[in-house]
Amino acid sequence: MTSPLQELVFDNRLVRELPADPEPDNYRRQVANAVYSRVTPTPVANPQLIAGASEVAALIDLPPTIFTDPQFAQVFGGNTLLAGMEPHACVYGGHQFGNWAGQLGDGRAINLGEVKNRRGEHWTLQLKGAGPTPYSRTADGLAVLRSSVREFLCSEAMYHLGVPTTRALSLVSSGELVRRDMFYDGNPQLEPGAIVCRVAPTFTRFGNFEIFSARNDIALLKQFTNFTLRTDFPDLFPASPAEFTRADYLRWFNEIGMRTAQLMAHWMRVGFVHGVMNTDNMSILGLTIDYGPYGWLEGYDQDWTPNTTDAQGRRYRYGNQPRVALWNLAQLANAIYPLIDDVEPLQAALENYRVEYERCAQRDAAAKLGLSQFDPARDQALNENLLQCFQLIETDMTIFYRKLAQLNADDIPHYADNQCVDIVRESFYSSADENTEAQFAGWIRQYAQRLQQDYVLTGNTHEQKTARMNAVNPKYVLRNYLAQQAIDKATAGDYSEVEKLLHILRNPYDEQPEYQDYFAKRPDWARHKAGCSMLSCSS
114 — alpha (psi -120 to 50), left (phi > 0) or beta? beta
Model confidence pLDDT, tens digit, residues 70-126: 999 999 999 999 999 999 999 999 999 999 999 999 999 999 999 999 999 999 999
* End-of-domain residue from the set 423, 438, 472: 472
Domain C-terminal end among 158, 190, 206: 206
Give domain status of residue 529, yes or no. no
Q: How far is CA 112 from the centre of its chain?
A: 21
Q: Count of CB atoms within 10 A of residue 46's CB? A: 11
Residue 54 CB neighbour total at 10 angstroms = 15
pTM above 0.95, yes or no: yes
Is position 517 within any domain?
A: no
The pLDDT assigned to 538 comes to 62
CA distance 40 to 529: 37
User: What mean pLDDT do residues 428-442 have?
Assistant: 97
- Give me the count of residues in the chain: 539
Q: What is the pLDDT of residue 242?
A: 79
Domain span at residue 418? 368-472
| pLDDT > 80? residue 502 | yes
Question: Cα–chain-centroid distance for residue 462?
Answer: 33
Residue 432 has pLDDT above 80, yes or no: yes
pLDDT, tens digit (0-9, with 9 covering 90-100), for 516-535: 999 999 999 988 888 887 78
Q: Nearest 5 degrees, angle CA 274-CA 480-CA 185?
A: 80
pLDDT digits (tens, 9 = 90+) for 129-166: 999 999 998 889 999 999 999 999 999 999 999 999 99
Number of domains making up the chain: 2
Report the distance separating Cα 142 and Cα 176, nearest Å.
10
Mean pLDDT on 398-413: 97
pLDDT above 90 for 536: no
Of 232, 280, 396, 454, which one is the catalytic site residue?
Answer: 280
pLDDT digits (tens, 9 = 90+) for 454-488: 999 999 999 999 999 999 999 999 999 999 999 99
Residue 466 forms part of a structural domain: yes
Q: Report the 3 state secondary structure along 346-393.
A: HHHHHHHHHHHHHHHHHHHHHHHCCCCCCCHHHHHHHHHHHHHHHCCC
- Choosing from 449, 472, 495, the residue where a domain stops is 472
235 catalytic, yes or no?
no
Give the percent of the chain with pLDDT over 90: 92
- Residue 539: pLDDT over 60: no
% of residues, the chain, pLDDT over 70: 99
- Average pLDDT of span 11-39: 98
**172 within 8 A of 194, measured Cβ to Cβ:** yes
pLDDT at 285 over 60: yes
Q: Flag whether 226 is in a domain.
A: no
| Position 490 in a domain | no
Mean pLDDT of the chain: 96
Q: Does residue 412 lie in a domain region? A: yes
115 lies in some domain:
yes
Q: Which amino acid is at 286?
A: G
